[in-house]
């Protein structure tokens, strides 16, 4: 009967990959020794857990191609992959979001003294998104961050963006100034004519409300552009 119906004992290659590895080569052990030396498949395998953690991690990378694409994917898209499920998909999304938090400044209320300081806060939030988002950094009188507020989702143009919504949270929290920012899902942060027109309208409205719009940053993939430094929309 054993010959007709082979078992995993008779055919070791049918066993999960993690069981075939020596202890010191298993993902969990390697992470416990030095996580920095682990590859993506090993890190994902530890988060996934279970008997087929390596196979599932490899399927994830084959499906999405990179950890950036995985971070952009909806939780339901991840959950439907064989071996994942909703609970593991949520763990993966949480782990990737936690990694992005490490890139944010450690100060409790960082002071925005330059466009680069604002970009350090905004890049981890916006650079990976597939849809266009507009957010505002609310600042106090010393240009310290009060809060980051999501204002809008969708393509920016003067007809769709309500200027009042951009300043609503700033008025409610008595902010002295704001920095506005949005992402370009294409990865190219080059400002469009619509970006410049929206910026000009926002800056002018801020002057009327005595709330200073300090800058507008466009976030791309690993790059950003300051419209203030570029002389666009602030003249």
Judgement on whether residues 127 and 58 belong to the same structural domain of the protein: no
Does residue 135 fall inside a structural domain?
yes
Does residue 232 fall inside a structural domain?
no
Judgement on whether residues 129 and 210 belong to the same structural domain of the protein: yes
Contact 193, 228 (CB under 8 A): no
Range of the domain at 90: 12-101
Query: What's the length of the chain?
Result: 235
Q: CB burial class (10 A; 0-12, 13-18, 19+) of residue 91?
A: middle
Judgement on whether residues 36 and 130 belong to the same structural domain of the protein: no
C-alpha 119/C-alpha 175 separation (Å) is 19
Judgement on whether residues 122 and 219 belong to the same structural domain of the protein: yes
Say yes or no to pLDDT of 91 above 70: yes
Residue 177, classed as helix, strand or coil, is strand
Does residue 122 fall inside a structural domain?
yes
Q: How many CB atoms lie within 10 A of CB 153?
A: 11
- The pLDDT confidence band at residue 13, using thresholds 50, 70 and 90, is low
In whole angstroms, how far apart are CA 6 and each of 9, 26, 52? Answer: 8, 26, 20
C-alpha 11/C-alpha 3 separation (Å) is 11
Does residue 120 fall inside a structural domain?
yes
Which residues, other chains included, contact 74 with Cβ-Cβ below 8 Å and sequence gap of 6+?
Answer: none
The pLDDT mean for the chain works out to 87
The residue out of 101, 134, 169 marking a domain boundary is 101
Does residue 179 fall inside a structural domain?
yes
Give the tens place of pLDDT for each residue, 176-230: 999 999 999 999 999 999 999 999 999 999 999 999 999 999 999 889 999 999 9
The residue out of 41, 69, 101 marking a domain boundary is 101
The residue out of 68, 101, 134 marking a domain boundary is 101
Strand ranges (E), 38-132: none
Give the tens place of pLDDT for each residue, 108-139: 778 999 999 999 999 988 988 888 999 999 99
Which residues, other chains included, contact 161 with Cβ-Cβ below 8 Å and sequence gap of 6+?
Answer: 134, 152, 198, 201
Judgement on whether residues 119 and 94 belong to the same structural domain of the protein: no
C-alpha 93/C-alpha 43 separation (Å) is 13
Looking at residue 142, which CATH number applies to its domain? Answer: 3.40.140.10
Contact 52, 20 (CB under 8 A): no
pTM of the model: 0.62
Judgement on whether residues 119 and 221 belong to the same structural domain of the protein: yes
> Among 193, 181, 79, 205, which residue's Cα sits nearest to residue 123?
181
Does residue 234 fall inside a structural domain?
no
**Counted domains in the chain:** 2
């Amino acid at each position: 009967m054993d010959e007709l119906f082979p078992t995993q004992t008779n055919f070791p290659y049918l066993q999960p990959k993690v069981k075939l590895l020596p202890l010191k080569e298993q993902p969990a052990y390697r992470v416990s020794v030095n996580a920095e030396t682990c590859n993506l498949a090993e890190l994902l395998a530890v988060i996934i857990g279970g008997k087929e953690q390596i196979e599932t991690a490899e399927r994830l990378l084959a499906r999405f191609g990179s950890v950036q694409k995985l971070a952009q994917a909806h939780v339901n898209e991840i959950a439907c992959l064989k071996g994942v499920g909703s609970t593991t998909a949520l763990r993966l999304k949480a782990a990737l979001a936690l990694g992005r938090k490490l890139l944010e400044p450690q100060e409790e209320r960082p002071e925005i003294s330059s466009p680069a300081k604002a970009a350090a806060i905004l890049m981890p939030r916006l650079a990976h998104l597939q849809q266009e988002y507009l957010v505002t950094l609310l600042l106090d009188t010393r240009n310290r961050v009060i809060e980051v507020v999501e204002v809008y989702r969708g393509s920016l143009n003067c007809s769709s963006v309500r200027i009042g919504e951009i300043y609503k949270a700033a008025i409610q929290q008595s902010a002295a100034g704001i920095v506005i920012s949005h992402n370009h899902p294409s990865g190219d942060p080059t400002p469009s004519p619509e970006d410049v027109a929206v910026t000009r309208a926002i800056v002018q409205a801020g002057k009327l409300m005595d709330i200073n719009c300090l800058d507008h940053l466009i976030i791309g993939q690993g790059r950003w552009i300051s419209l203030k430094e570029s002389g666009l929309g602030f003249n």
